[in-house]
Amino acid sequence: MTRESGGPQRTCGACRTARDKKDLVRFVLAPDGSVLVDYRQRLPGRGVYTCFDLSCLTAALKKNVFRRGFRKECQPVALNELQRQLCQAVEQKILNLIGIARKSGQIVSGTQAVLDLLKSANTPALVLLSDDISSAIGDKIRRSAESKKILCAQLFDKELIGQLLGKEERSAIAMEKCSLASTVMYELQRLEQLQREI
């Protein structure tokens, strides 16, 4: 199924709504019969799609959508396990995007560098704070970002952010305005939606 622009569409197995493939979550059946989230939509095998929300995931489990879609018996799967897999997949995608932005020189890291960038005329698209940033510094950066209507999210720890950037621990990064930043913001919204529903 394709839409007029030629992009592929799929139907949610739970609510039966047709959407762009990229807006749905794909699930595949592992060789051991367990259901896996295929967030990047690249794993081999038959796929089953659902909307990116808790109500469709719940309905898919109640209606045995996975068994019907895979045309095989599959191991019992719990809603919280699918949510956990999905959160991990979204977080991994965000990490990958930040890594790409770093390689292309679109990341500013370090609390003082981020604060300086927020005060400049060339404001960033988004700011990411570590989970373990000190509350005083975090509040200062958050207030500065919010005053300029810049998305400020809190995710990952200092050590992981530092490793991703090939540096010591980093508690704050800012991403310049670019298409990657738009994709990161989209994924952050998806993650927030998932965490809100858990």
> Which spans in the chain are helix H?
54-62, 65-70, 79-103, 111-119, 135-147, 158-165, 179-197
User: Which positions of the chain have pLDDT values less than 50?
Assistant: 2
Cα–Cα distance for residue pair 139/136, rounded to 1 Å: 5
Give the global pTM: 0.89
Give the dihedral sign, CA 111/114/116/118. Answer: negative
Q: In the chain, what are the domains?
A: 9-77 (3.30.1230.10), 89-197 (3.30.1330.30)
User: pLDDT digit string (tens) for 16-67?
Assistant: 999 999 999 999 999 999 999 999 999 999 999 999 988 999 999 999 999 9
Residue 196's pLDDT is: 79
Residue 4's pLDDT is: 53
Residue 106's pLDDT is: 96
| Contact present, 56 and 15 (Cβ < 8 Å) | yes
Residue 7's pLDDT is: 79
Tokens encoding 154: 């809190």
Cα–Cα distance for residue pair 87/102, rounded to 1 Å: 23
Give the dihedral sign, CA 101/106/110/114. Answer: negative
